[in-house]
Amino acid sequence: DVKVTQSSRYLVKRTGEKVFLECVQDMDHENMFWYRQDPGLGLRLIYFSYDVKMKEKGDIPEGYSVSREKKERFSLILESASTNQTSMYLCASKAGGWQPQHFGDGTRLSIL
Amino acid sequence: DQQVKQNSPSLSVQEGRISILNCDYTNSMFDYFLWYKKYPAEGPTFLISISSIKDKNEDGRFTVFLNKSAKHLSLHIVPSQPGDSAVYFCAASANSGAGSYQLTFGKGTKLSVIP
Which pLDDT does position A97 carry in this prediction? 78
Rounded Cα gap, residues B3 and A77, in angstroms: 27
Q: Is A104 on the interface with B (CB under 8 A)?
A: yes
Among B35, B53, B100, B109, the residue to mutate for chain A (most A Cβ within 10 A): B100
Provide mean pLDDT across the span A18-28. Answer: 95
Of B44, B96, B101, the CB nearest to A98: B101
Chain A nearest-CA distance from B70, in A, is: 23
Sequence-distant (≥ 6) Cβ neighbours of residue A17 within 8 angstroms: A78, A80, A81
Is A103 in contact with B43 (Cβ distance < 8 A)?
A: yes
Predicted confidence at residue B74, as pLDDT, reads 98
How does DSSP assign A2-32, residue by residue? --EEES-SEEEE-TT--EEEEEEESS--SEE
Q: Which of the pair, B112 or A95, is modelled with greater confidence? A: B112
Say if strands A42-49 and A31-38 run parallel, antiparallel, or are unpaired: antiparallel
- Torsion (CA) A41, A43, A47, A52 in degrees, nearest 10: 180
CA A57, B6, B89, A22 torsion: positive or negative?
positive
Tens digit of each residue's pLDDT (9 = 90 or more) over A37-57: 998 888 999 999 988 988 999
**Per-residue pLDDT at A81:** 97
Kindly tell me if the per-residue pLDDT of B98 is higher than 60: no
A36 pLDDT tier (thresholds 50, 70, 90): very high
Chain A residues inside the 8 Å CB shell of B42: 105-106
- Strand-by-strand arrangement of the A64-70 sheet: A4-6, A19-25, A73-78, A64-70
Q: What integer pLDDT is reported at residue B96 of this predicted model?
A: 62
Judged against a pLDDT cut of 90, whether residue B90 lies above it is answered with yes
Distance between CA A55 and CA B53 in Å, rounded? Answer: 30
